[in-house]
Structure 1
């Protein structure tokens, strides 16, 4: 049974609905765009809309691996961070959105079933306090913040491309 077939209540419903809301804002910013527009750097930033979709997909997938298997699982697959914010040869907006939907569906299914209090040590990194741990709940809150932040970035990029204001 998938999350879409379950009725979530309480905190799980709040987490799932908030993440879905911000994913929707992000997806809304790319509606009606061509692959060329989605790959356009429309500001002085290196960011492009397709690259933001790609980035949030990678980040969400990595954090789900962390929830399921800890830092080792999170870091088990290498990530091409250099190309993580841009569309590369052969990538399409439709393909990036499909992949994002797959990752989101898996996360949504996990929200319905995982122990939100289960915690794991974070990977060693300069931006994490030494020995810090995050619960499943904390990871989901981080995914909401990450998605929300990038939806705001995407809104600016979209407005720079064609004047569309997706969130205003």
Structure 2
């Protein structure tokens, strides 16, 4: 049986983030590719999360990024699915399609074991956070480890980034 991807530390991190979102009166939406909805799962693991979690989009394919989030296919063609530009477009699209959300986080990356290149190695993950009526911020990380580890680390990083946007409100 595969390991459960959301460990107690991640679930505790998500619970603390929910409390901060609640205290700030903010709602969040997720747009996930390589994490396959794990950020939304971590947040909604906790009872009562519906007061701050608007929802989530799992857009694993490029077509779904376009259809569900409105990501311009030219952006993906020019920069690739794993890029700052695509991550930003995903976060912006999530906010545009979730009118009650205040903060969006997006994740797109190469969890492995295949799919990497010299320019975009396995473990490369791009994140973006967007605030309604605010700027969109991107960040990349290259995580070590196998597919499970990369995805776990990406979830923790995404939760951290949402927390940073809550503090900046």
User: For the superposition of Structure 1 and Structure 2, which TM-score range results when normalised by the shorter chain?
Assistant: 0.3 to 0.5
Q: Compute the TM-score of the two structures, normalised by the length of structure 2.
A: 0.40
Q: Compute the TM-score of the two structures, normalised by the length of structure 1.
A: 0.40
**Structure number with higher relative contact order (C-alpha < 8 Å, ≥ 6 residues apart):** 1
